[in-house]
Structure 1
Amino acid sequence: MAIEKVSYQKIAIKYGILVGVAHIVYFLLMGVLGLQDVIELSFLSGIFLVIGIIVAISKYKKINNTVEYFNGLGIGATVGVVSSVLLAVFLVLYISVYRATYIENLQASSLFPESISLVWLFILTIIYGTIPGFFIAFIAMQWFKRADHSMPERV
């Protein structure tokens, strides 16, 4: 039986969902601990993005025995997009249904504009996950490409 190669999209979407769920659980845990009003703590969830991207690239490389540079960047960007879209949808639902005052806390923080709306929060959440996802993958690929990287021999 031949081993089938797995596409980077399947792995990236899987880990994007896992990272998105981790973001949501962290957000809810902050609420349980009464720390949701400390907006700066929400940026610590970026650690989940770093771990998710590194594990996803590692898994892809393990399954396929190699990882092309642009596939690694694609994994990072896709994990970032999927996880941040999940978080953005959750935040919009959370604010709309449960706690409308949370957006006032965001407006009071210096990290978000004073006139932020739900639509802009949705867009910014996706941007705050996608762009770092790409850069994290760029940095991680410096490590993951090493085993496959070879210099041409001089003649």
Structure 2
Amino acid sequence: MASTNVAYQSVAIKYGILVGVAHIIYFVLMWIFGLLDVIELSFISGLFLVVGITVAISRFKRIRGGTLHYLQGLGIGATVGVVSSAILALFLMIFLSLFRTGYIENLQASALFPESLTKLSLFVITILYGTVPGLLIGFIAMQWFKREDHSTMPGRR
């Protein structure tokens, strides 16, 4: 039975936490394998955001019995992006303080971050690098999920 009183925020926060944990696991694996100096590899974790948002929108549409408003899908994308990137940003602050204080210099040396990078600016940039793509991914995903012929319910057309 479909539940029509489930808020999109609860689904988005759940998947945002899962994506945030996936970001942290990927970062720790990069650290273990000595790949933190290859800054470009960190952008591969953007795939976690794509998968997380797509699955969250699909799950919400299924919970709601196949009905999904366009702005709810955009909200799911943005919320998953904010939650996951905030979790990653908090982890990075702990990581920089306890384990690898020189990591910020590696980021400054790359062309992807400014030379004046501080912990606070890294925190803000990390959240922005998750939120803006989250909204864009939600927008792109909604081009598929808004269609009448797309159904997440088995046996429905």
Query: Shorter-chain TM-score: what band?
Result: over 0.9
Letter of the aligned partner of 1:80 in structure 2?
G
Contact kept? 1:61, 1:67, Cα under 8 Å:
yes
* 1:153 corresponds to: none
Q: CA deviation at 1:148?
A: 6.8
TM-score (ref. length: structure 2)? 0.91
The answer as to whether partners of 2:107 and 2:113 remain within 8 angstroms in 1 is yes
| Residues 71-122 of structure 1 deviation map (CA, whole Å, 9 limit, x = unaligned) | 0000000000000000000001100111001101000000000110000000
Segments of structure 1 that go 5 or more residues without pairing to the other structure are 150-155
Q: What amino acid is the match of 1:67?
A: L
- Aligned residue in 2 for 1:104: 105
Supply the distance in 2 between the matched residues of 1:4 and 1:46 (Cα, whole angstroms). 31
CA distance in 1, matches of 2:115, 2:67: 47
Q: Report if the CA contact (8 A) 2:70-2:142 is conserved.
A: yes
Residues 1:86 and 2:61 aligned together: no
Structure 1 distance, partners of 2:88, 2:100, is 15
Unaligned 5+ segments in structure 2 are 151-157
Percent identity of paired positions between Structure 1 and Structure 2: 66
Alignment of 1:6-85 (within 5 A): 6-64=6-64, 65-85=66-86
Whole-angstrom CA distance in 2 between matches of 1:144 and 1:54: 9
SS at match of 1:36: coil
Q: Which amino acid aligns with 1:147?
A: E
**Alignment match, 2:155:** none
What root-mean-square deviation, in Å, do the aligned CA atoms of Structure 1 and Structure 2 show?
Answer: 1.5
For 2:116, what is the secondary structure of its paired residue? Answer: coil
Distance of 2:148 and 2:21 partners within structure 1: 32
Partner of 1:135 in structure 2?
Answer: 136
- Structure 1 residues 33 and 57, CA gap change in structure 2 (3 angstroms): same
Q: TM-score, normalised by structure 1?
A: 0.93
Q: CA deviation at 1:147?
A: 1.7
Q: Please say if residues 66 and 148 of structure 1, whose CA atoms lie closer than 8 Å, have aligned partners that are also in contact.
A: no
